[in-house]
Amino acid sequence: GDGERAVRVERDGKVAIVTIDRPAALNALSASVLGELEAAFLALADDVPAIRGVLLVGEGGRAFVAGADIRAMTSLSPEEAAALSRRGHRAAAAIEALPAPVIACVDGYALGGGLEMALACDLIYATDASTFGQPEVKLGLIPGFGGTVRLPRAVGLARAKELIYSGRRIGIDEALDSGLVARSFTDRAALLDGARATVELIATNSPTAVGTAKRVLVEAAGRPTEVASDIEVGAFEDAFRTEDMQEGVAAFLEKREPRFGGA
């Protein structure tokens, strides 16, 4: 209920786990949950590079997130609805601004605003029992937390239009086939183990380089080729100013493992 925290952050070595914990409402995103999510990811930025990746999960085993909180939307004025939409976009922006990868770990429903939060993550891993969709048009709404922006980037414009206009739900096979989901797992334990293993693999690399690669990928998305290319050139130049680049290249030539300091 009101006043209770619905977003929990735990540390497990190099991995942080952000849990949306409102299982009675299938983890639906109210304005306050979105505010907590944004704050959690802004705070986590201070823990990079001690943490090398984040898993975003939903509590309860039935849903990642079943969407924006429909009950809370009934009393909103159009202006308040715009503020809610902005909050969703700010939470998504905080996920994208974190200078370390975020893996959405979907086990169950990822619908509406839930799919939109997953799309703000760097990649989506999911269990076979997962379901995805943008059902907003069934409510007389449209996606409000970035779905019209990020779904086409993830699955292509035609597939995104088909999903958004129909509101139909897709299962894991179609989600994998469309490129929405990067990898599937038989159950929740395997999902979390798989996501942790990916963070461990990422953690063998330069945190500076990974963080810069994420920034460039996020900033370049949807930009014209020349603009995106300039962003990449600038970041490539900056990489040559880092100690990690000196160390990585030296370690290769000396045939040893690199020791990245993150500077």
The letter for the amino acid at 23 is P
- The span from the CA of 224 to the CA of 198, in Å, is 31
Interaction mask 67-106, ligand CAA, x per CB under 6 A: xxxxx----------------x------------------
Residue 62: DSSP 8-state: S
Q: How many residues touch ligand CAA (CB under 6 A)?
A: 23
- The span from the CA of 19 to the CA of 9, in Å, is 6
Secondary structure element (H or E) that encloses residue 56, with its range: strand 53-58
* Closer CB to ligand CAA, 41 or 145, in the complex: 145
Contacts of 35 (CB under 8 A, 6+ apart): 87, 91
Active-site pick, 36, 38, 96, 136: 136
Residues in a beta bridge with 8: 19
Q: How far is the CB of 62 from ligand CAA (least distance, A)?
A: 7
Q: How far is the CB of 63 from ligand CAA (least distance, A)?
A: 6
Q: How far is the CB of 33 from ligand CAA (least distance, A)?
A: 11
- The span from the CA of 188 to the CA of 244, in Å, is 35
Q: How far is the CB of 29 from ligand CAA (least distance, A)?
A: 7
For residue 178 the two structure tokens come to 């469309």
Active-site pick, 116, 162, 237, 247: 116
Q: How far is the CB of 109 from ligand CAA (least distance, A)?
A: 4
For residue 153 the two structure tokens come to 């980037």
Interaction mask 103-122, ligand CAA, x per CB under 6 A: ------x-xxx--x------
The yes-or-no answer on residue 116 being catalytic is yes
If phi > 0 it is left, if psi is from -120 to 50 it is alpha, else beta; for residue 63 that is beta
58 in contact with ligand CAA (CB under 6 A)? no
Interaction mask 177-216, ligand CAA, x per CB under 6 A: ----------------------------------------
Task: Report DSSP letters for 187-247, one per residue.
Answer: SHHHHHHHHHHHHHHHTTS-HHHHHHHHHHHHHHTTS-HHHHHHHHHHHHHHHTTSHHHHH
233 in contact with ligand CAA (CB under 6 A)? no
141 in contact with ligand CAA (CB under 6 A)? yes
The letter for the amino acid at 251 is A
* Binds ligand CAA by CB under 6 A, chosen from 136, 155, 172, 180: 136
Task: Give me the active site residues, please.
Answer: 116, 136
- Residues near ligand CAA (CB under 6 A): 25-26, 28, 66-71, 88, 109, 111-113, 116, 135-136, 139, 141, 143-145, 147
